[in-house]
Amino acid sequence: MIHPQTLNLRHALTTRRIYRDAAELTLVALAFLLYFIVRANVVDRPDLALANARDIVDLERGLGIFTEPGWQDAIIDHRLLVRSFNFVYFWLDFPLIAVVGLVMYFKRRPYYTFARDAILISGAFALLCYALYPVAPPRLLPETGLIDTLQAYSNLSYQAQSTQFFVNPYAAMPSLHVGWSILLAIGVTMAYPGSRIVLLLALLHPLAQSASTVFTGNHYFLDGAGGLVAAAIGLAGALALQRYGYPALKRALASEEREAQT
Question: Which pLDDT tens digit goes with each residue over 12-63?
Answer: 445 567 777 887 888 888 888 877 777 776 667 889 999 999 999 999 999 9
Given this model, what pLDDT does residue 13 score? Answer: 47
Q: What percent of the chain has pLDDT over 70?
A: 86
Question: Which pLDDT tens digit goes with each residue over 106-127?
Answer: 999 999 999 999 999 999 999 8
Question: Which pLDDT tens digit goes with each residue over 162-213?
Answer: 445 557 788 899 999 999 999 999 999 999 998 999 999 999 999 999 999 9
Q: Is there a contact between 2 and 256 (Cβ–Cβ < 8 Å)?
A: yes
In the predicted model, what is the mean pLDDT of residues 253-261? 72
